Amino acid sequence: KKMARVKRGVDTNRKHKKFLKLGKGMLGRASRCYKIARRMGLRALQFQYIGRKNRKRDFRSKFIAIINTFCRLNGSRYSIFISKFNKSEFVNCLDRKTMAIMIQNNKEEFTNIYNKCMEI
């Protein structure tokens, strides 16, 4: 007795649907043709990945700009403050994001931390 023939249409359709869904809203044949939708979809996923990394980088530079502005208003520079901050007791409990949020919301508390760091 011969084995039954395996038809793979279901799997192929599922795979094609996945990439056509990715291509939704793209210009031209990228939203209709599997081959192009796959290529453009994979490219879009790469850009998404890169974008997530860039977003972290951009936020970090914004936090640094906020801290630098605070330091300049208090007669110092960011690099000097960070150098002294890294030698202080606060180095393990505060990061740049937390410091930037503190500057925006609780200036008095951060001023105390700033003064303690600058005494070192």
Q: How confident is the model at residue 3 (pLDDT cuts 50, 70, 90)?
A: confident
Mean pLDDT calculated for residue range 67-86: 96
Mean pLDDT calculated for residue range 24-50: 95
pLDDT at 120: 83
pLDDT at 2: 85
C-alpha R_g of the chain: 27
The per-residue pLDDT of the chain, averaged, comes to 94
Three-class DSSP labels, the chain? CCCCCCCCHHHHHHHHHHHHHHCCCCCHHHHCCHHHHHHHHHHHHHHHHHHHHHHHHHHHHHHHHHHHHHHHHCCCCHHHHHHHHHCCCCCCCCCHHHHHHHHHHCHHHHHHHHHHHHHC
Q: How confident is the model at residue 92 (pLDDT cuts 50, 70, 90)?
A: very high
